[in-house]
Structures are given as C-alpha cells and as structure tokens.
A and B are shown apart, each in its own frame.
Chain A
Amino acid sequence: MRDIPGLPSRRGFLKASAATAAIAGIAVPAKAEQKPEPVALTEYKPDCLKPSEWAFVMAAVARLIPSDGEGPGAIETRVPVFIDKQLAGDYGKASDWYMQGPHDAAADPLRGWQTPLSPLEIYQQAIPVFDDWCKTTHGKIFAELDAATQDKALTSLQKNEMKIKPELNQFFTILLGNTKEGYFSDPMYGGNHGMQAWSYIGFPGARGSYKEWVGKHNVKYPLGPVSISGERG
C-alpha cells in the first residue's frame, strides 16, 4: 500500500478494528510492520516507580484520560509506561534544570518551578501524602477507591484542598502534564501505543510533508499517522 494523497481515510477502519496492530489483508512494507504487542501493563517491571507508586499512576491516569467513550484512554495507550520511563530519565531527575539553592518553594506560582525537588522526588513524596489524605477523607488509598470518588479526590488535589506542602504543590500539574505527554508523544517513548491518540484526533505524526496539501482549504487531510520509527496507524 502506498500513501497517495486522496486515498480514503483509514481512520474509520482503524477505529472499527479497535486496534492498531495487524491491519489484516493490507500489505505493508516490511519496515513499516507493526511491532509485536508489548508486555501487559500488569506484568510491566517499572524502571523507577515502586509498586505502590505504579499502582497510583495506573489508577490516576485511568481517570485523567478514561477509557470509556470515544477515543482511547491512558491505559490502552500505555501512558503509565511513558511516565515511568520519563521519571527514570533526565526529566525525572531535573537534570536540565537549575536546581541550586536557596529555594523559595512557597513563591508565587507565576515564578515557575521553585521547589528543591525533582519531578521524580515529587511523585515519590506526594503519592503517600495523597494516599493518606484519601484514606482519611474517603476511607481507602486512591487506587482502591471507586471511579467517582477518585475523580472527586483528583479534583481536590487539583484545587489543593488538602493544602499539600509547597515543595509538592506542582504534583497535580506535572501528573496531568506527563499524562498528556504520554498520550501524545511518539510511541518510542512508551505511551501513545499504536499511535491511537494521534489516530483519534487526526494528527498524522511524523509524516512531515504537506506541500500538495497546503492549498487544499477546508478539506480534511485523509492519511493516518506514521511514527518516527516507521509504524503506520
């Protein structure tokens, strides 16, 4: 199959097949074949998250981008894997950031990242604090609550109703940010599995060539996404 502009959209077909792997009956170049299905999330061995942290991330992202309704959720797109890998790397360690003191974690939020903690340290310290709050307020740790109560608890976290200490006050912001990053980033980072999020919204990923389309005004672009490693959705 060649990508010729003007071919009918494959998006509908992909959605109907509810998967991205195995586009049965369509010959694709060997290079572009889908990768084998990765290990199930329940079997995944995190690079840096401890079991309780992993359980929290799995539960939280499932509410931040739920699976029900149209479009994939954070679980099918393997966002928890993305978050674990990012937190294990330079981002998690704040390697690129200026982290010398003195710190003023209670500064006006408009002044940016001022906590002495790295993103990984914030996850590590905030998850137990939030779980304790959930237990006190709702009777169970976050991962064990029902979906409606989880949504309530996340809303409280977003509004900082539990008055989390200033060093941790970026927790909800980075949790939500990292979840969306995992949903939309190239699949090579572990999330956006099968480019499902790109297919859902209609972003063609790394196609990067639209000369013949720039003048086609108000006409929906027909081709599905490709990834940096050559997967096709």
Chain B
Amino acid sequence: MTRTEKKKDVVLVGFGWTGAIMGIELAQEGLEILALERGHDQATVPDFQYPNMIDELKYGIRYGMMEKPANTTVSIRRSLEETALPYRSLGTFLLGTGVGGAGTHWNGLNWRPMLSEYRLKSYTEEKFGADVIPEGMQIQDYPMTYEELEPHFDRFEKVAGISGQAGNVNGKIIEGGNPFEAPRSNDYPMPPMPSTWDGVKFRDAAKANGCHPFPSPGGIASKDYVNEYNMQMGPCNHCGFCERYGCYNYSKSSPQTAIIDALKRKKNFEYRVNAEVLRIEMAPDRKTATGVTYFDHKTGEEVFQPADLVILSAFALNNVHLMLLSGIGQPYDPNTGEGVVGRNYAYQMLGGYTMFFKDENFNPFIGTGANGYCIDDFGIDNIDFGKEGFIGGAYWRAGQTNGQPGHTMPLPADVPSWGAGWKKGIGEWYGHAMSIGAHGSLMSYRDNYLDLDPTYTDRHGRPMMRMTFNWKDNDIKMINFMQTKMKPIVESMNPTIAQAGFKKEGAMFDVRPYQTTHNTGGTVTGSDPKTSVLNRYLQSWDAHNVFVMGANTFPQNTQYNPTGMVGALAYWAAHHIRKDYLPNPRPLV
C-alpha cells in the first residue's frame, strides 16, 4: 500500500547534525520543511535522564542507542576476490539511529582539518612530486578552499558549543593552543576543559620532548553557554559517559542540545519519526528528484512524500546506500575505474601506547569524550611525504574518556584472560593505566569502495550495501612512523609497563573490536563529475535538486574526527542553497 502525503518544499532524509542544521537554516527562508527520521524520537528529557542513561550494559555493551543490524547493516569483504559477509553484530563501527543520530552518542572531539588536507593531491604533487602517490591511491582535492569554509567552521563551533584553546587566530600564534592549526578568525566559544591526570602527564612529557601540547578541542561545555538559536548548555561534570551515551547534563554538544528544540518551535518545520526513506524518486527525465518514498513503521505502509528539494542528511553510509538504490549517478566500478557512487570509501588509522603506573591513581571514571591534551607535531602538514615514504599524519591525544569496567579494562599482556590471575590483575591495575592515542588519516584507494551486495538484502528486500575495505601499506607505514616517534615520549614518562598497539604490515580489517565510526567517502565532493558525485556545493551533478551532506562527501579521510568538517560543510551548503539555489534552482556549477 502506498499513500501520498502533501507536498513539502524541502524533505530532509535523516535528523541528526546535518538534518538539524539544514532544517533550521532553510526554515529561516519560510519554506515548508519536513525531516524524516528512520529511528525513534529522543530528547535529553526523558530519554537521556540520570541515572538510567549511565547503564554500561544497556548502552555501552548491548548498544542501546545504535541502529540494530537486524534493521540496517552492510556486508563487508577485504578484497575484490572475497565474498562479502554481513556485519551481523556490532563491533568496529557503531551507527546511530533516532533523532540526533550519531551526534547524540559521539565523544565530542571537534576539529578543523589541517591546511594540506583540503587540497591534498595538489599539495602532495607540488611539494613532493606526483611519484610519491602510490599505485592505486586515489586522493583528490576538495573543490572549495579552507578560506571559503572558515566562516562556516566558525559558525558550527559557535552553534555546537566547542571548548578549546585557539593556537592561530588570523595568523597570530597563541601560546598554549595548537600552533599548527589552520588559522581561525576567532577563538573557540568556550575556554578549554580541565584535564585529568593522564592528560597533564602527557602534556608535560610532550613539552619536555619539544612538542607543542594543547587542550583537546571538544563539544563539551566548560561553562554555561547560550548559542545563536538561544539553546543552552550547562558545564560538564565529567561523569565519564560520553561515547555510546546521550548526555543527561546538557553538557555534550548534540543536535538536541544545540538546535532541535529551537527548530521544533518553527511552525514551518515538521519531523516524522519511524519514517525510513527507501529511495529518492526521480522525474521521468531523471534530471530532478520528485520526492522520496519512505516506509512508515507506525502504519506499515509505503508513503510517497513529494518535495521540491531533497537533502540527504543521514549517516554517511546511509547516504551512499540511498544514492546507489535510487540510481542517481553512475555506480563506481573498481575494475574499469569508471563511475563515481561508492568511490573513495575510507576509514581511520589508529594506534597507541597503553602505559601502566603501579603507584599512580588515574581515577579513569572521571572523564569526557574530549578530555585531555593533544599534539599536532606529527600532523599531516608536518610530515615529509617524500622522506618518510607515506602520505598522511596523525594527531595524538591522552585523555581518559571512561572507566566503565565492562568494556574499558586495560591490562598488562601477562595478565591472563580469566581465572585467579585475571581477578588479581584487575584488582592491581584498574585505575593505574593511561594511554596515548595516534589518530591518523586514511587515504582513498581504487579497491576500497561501496556498492550493492549481490546476495544479502535488508528487511525491506533492498540490496544491502557492500563495503570492500582493507588496510593499505601507506597508512600502516604512517602509523608505524607514529610508533617510532611516540616510543621515546612514552619511555620518558617512565611507566611500570608500556604496551604498543599499532597495526603491522599485512594487517587485515577485523570487524570485531570497536575501532571508530569515522566512515567516510562514497559520494565525494569534487570539481570533476568523473571523480565526484557532488559539486562544490554538495549538489548532485546528476540531479540538481538533490544535495548530500555528511562525511561521505570527503575525498579521503582526514587525520581528525570528522564532525567539525561535516558541520562546516553543512553550513557552507546551506549558505549557498539560501543565497544561490533557492532564487533560481539549477545546477550551481
């Protein structure tokens, strides 16, 4: 059964960060706007309330806030030859669902990419020569410049409520901030958060070793704060339940905290939950979309929702899946190199040291998702690609995020996994460990991509999306370089025990342990329709009334957590839709 709803000016597919940003910006134009969210409704009260929210089993281990693989998942293979198998239970990445999306359960780390990252291909060729780019690597430039994006980074940081210490304001280096950051027009809207002991120990060791530590920038309120939409944040109490949880304290930046209540008050805005978009519908000439068809889980029927403008604002993987299912743009073929949808899927390369200090107390349960201190001394702008033999870089951070013992229990390697020795080990070492993590870039490659699975289907009978992904030598070399640089700093801290955790050559993608939910690429933005799905305004090359938000627009992954860039790109696109597209709807490039 299909019913047809009354036409809207704009339909937003997904109601997380980018859906909320697009909603509130376009609502100011007086348009009739509808957001469709596949998941449930959720708000700080009652859904994130203390104490029920800080339940490790329900949310931290059974993933109560995440999309259930039974409802939506992907299949995964590590090479073109392997048969993809479904990602049946959650492990390496955790996809959000419901109002607020992944923006409710993130850690809050908020960054602007380094200057080289916006024009990585040109930068690499100009500085080190085209021959440093290995065979099979498909890095590209962003089609917009950092200078163009800067006001939108600034805006997102002010809306989201980011705490931090500027290191470069309009070219002036500020002591205590990140001297390597791209120049910003303003300091962060809130001062940095205080750090726990582990972060301070790292700060002092990094400084003593000639590095430039600065407080981690994050969407965690260090004081009371009101943003431009009159949304309020309260100072964080360091409860240690950020990642995988909603914030009960109005302290962690989220669509709920920063935008949604203000948006709900607008009469020309409506949202529907349990409304899962199945596909974008196209006009007969396939040059424009006519709206979307969604499955209404409340009534069990398919609904056609006509709209003049369709904005995909779901999680990265879902946006790509919808473009593939709707046949907008040519799907990418890794054998011929032709096609674009699904091309340049990327992830994140992580590594680090865990250190044990027998006689020190870290109280690991005191923390935030964006706690501690960072360095960017080994960031991508500071790496000689020619000399080191890889393209990329990493920022480092020490700052405990949680001490929840069910899933965060670092132990020395000689502690057995069970029995009397394990029990003795947890008693001896809980609270006496800290870590330094290197959070590294990951490039795009010919055979890391997304397409439709030939075998597995979802609950609506649609082909599941298939992820073909494995680690590549370039990024493993990058993270091993980080290990060689981190080792002396770790040793200078004189831990009782230090354990390295870095991938080695030949490492295969393991879907079981949690790694990161920084899934990027698949519908990248670019200046050439042969190598991108979206133009510089995140507008589809193929259907001018379809715009696509999210980290799926990244040509390759940066060395940072993606939300800051995702927010800036959404404000950039909203600005150009308001200014250029609405007065005269057409291809903007």
Contact = CB atoms under 8 A, between A and B. Distances in A.
Contact of B424 (A69, A73, A189): A69
Contact of A151 (B68, B237, B365, B419): B419
B418 A65 contact: yes
A68 interface: yes
B222 to A, nearest CB: 11
Interface stretch (B50-58, B317-325, B487-495, B545-553): B50-58
Contact of A180 (B63, B240, B406): B406
B90 to A, nearest CB: 8
Given A203-B430, A214-B196, A214-B366, A66 B51 contact: no
B170 interface: no
Interface in A79-132: 90-91, 94-100, 102, 104, 107-114
A64 B73 contact: no
Interface centre among A71, A99, A113, A200 (most CB of B within 10 A): A113
B286 interface: no
A179 B418 CA distance: 10
Interface in B279-301: none
Interface string A196-233: 01101111101111110111011111000000100000
A164 interface: no
A112 B87 contact: yes
A159 to B, nearest CB: 12
Given A185-B406, A202-B430, A217-B200, A110 B511 contact: yes
B500 interface: no
A186 interface: yes
A185 B403 CA distance: 13
B239 to A, nearest CB: 4
A218 B358 CA distance: 12
Contacts of A104: 83, 85
Given A94-B89, A201-B431, A220-B363, A209 B422 contact: no
A176 interface: yes
Q: Would you call the interface of chain B mostly helix, strand, loop, or mixed?
A: loop
Given A176-B417, A214-B196, A100 B456 contact: yes
A98 B84 CA distance: 14
Nearest to B507: A110
Contact of B419 (A63, A180, A208): A63
Contacts of A181: 57, 61, 406
A24 B406 CA distance: 30
Contacts of A21: none
A11 to B, nearest CB: 11
B578 interface: no
Contacts of A97: 68-70, 88-89
Nearest to B64: A96
Interface string A36-59: 000000000000000000000000
B405 A201 contact: yes
A208 B427 contact: no
Nearest to B360: A218
Contacts of A213: 238, 363, 366
Contact of B405 (A98, A197, A209, A214): A197
A143 interface: no
B415 to A, nearest CB: 13
A170 B194 CA distance: 42
B185 interface: no
Smallest CB-CB A-B distances: 7 pairs: A208-B239, A201-B430, A217-B197, A185-B57, A96-B68, A98-B69, A210-B366
A65 B427 CA distance: 12
A23 interface: no
Contact of B62 (A91, A180, A208, A211): A91
Given A99-B88, A217-B196, 20 more contacts: A65-B418, A96-B68, A98-B87, A100-B86, A100-B457, A102-B455, A107-B85, A112-B512, A176-B417, A186-B56, A200-B427, A206-B54, A208-B50, A210-B239, A210-B240, A211-B237, A213-B238, A214-B194, A217-B197, A218-B361
Contacts of B327: none
B175 interface: no
Nearest to A102: B455
Interface string B34-78: 000000000000000011101111000111000011100100100
Interface residues of A, number: 61
A154 interface: yes
Contact of B88 (A112, A198, A209): A112
A110 B512 contact: yes
A127 B79 CA distance: 36
Contacts of A96: 62-63, 68-70, 89
A102 B75 CA distance: 12
B426 interface: yes
B53 to A, nearest CB: 9
B508 interface: yes
A98 B73 contact: yes
15 contacts: A63-B419, A71-B423, A95-B70, A97-B88, A98-B88, A181-B57, A185-B56, A185-B61, A186-B56, A202-B430, A204-B365, A208-B239, A211-B236, A221-B366, A228-B52
A108 B76 CA distance: 12
Contacts of B366: 210, 213-214, 221
A80 B63 CA distance: 22
A150 B237 CA distance: 46
Contact of B91 (A63, A112, A185, A209): A112
Nearest to A189: B57
B86 A64 contact: no
B118 to A, nearest CB: 34
A73 B418 CA distance: 11
B580 interface: no
Contacts of B241: 208
Contacts of A151: 419
Contact of A154 (B57, B418, B509): B418
Contacts of B510: 110
A219 B363 CA distance: 8
Contact of A203 (B88, B200, B403, B511): B403
A142 interface: no
Nearest to B509: A110
Contacts of A65: 418-419, 422-423
Given A185-B56, A201-B405, A203-B365, A112 B424 contact: no
A161 interface: no
A163 B424 CA distance: 31
A70 interface: yes
B589 interface: no
B223 to A, nearest CB: 12
B151 interface: no
B237 A69 contact: no
A171 interface: no
Interface string B184-197: 00000000001111
A213 B367 CA distance: 10
Contact of B55 (A70, A112, A228): A228
A208 B418 contact: no
A15 B418 CA distance: 22
Nearest to B198: A217
B235 interface: yes
Interface string B464-508: 000000000000000000000000000000000000000000001
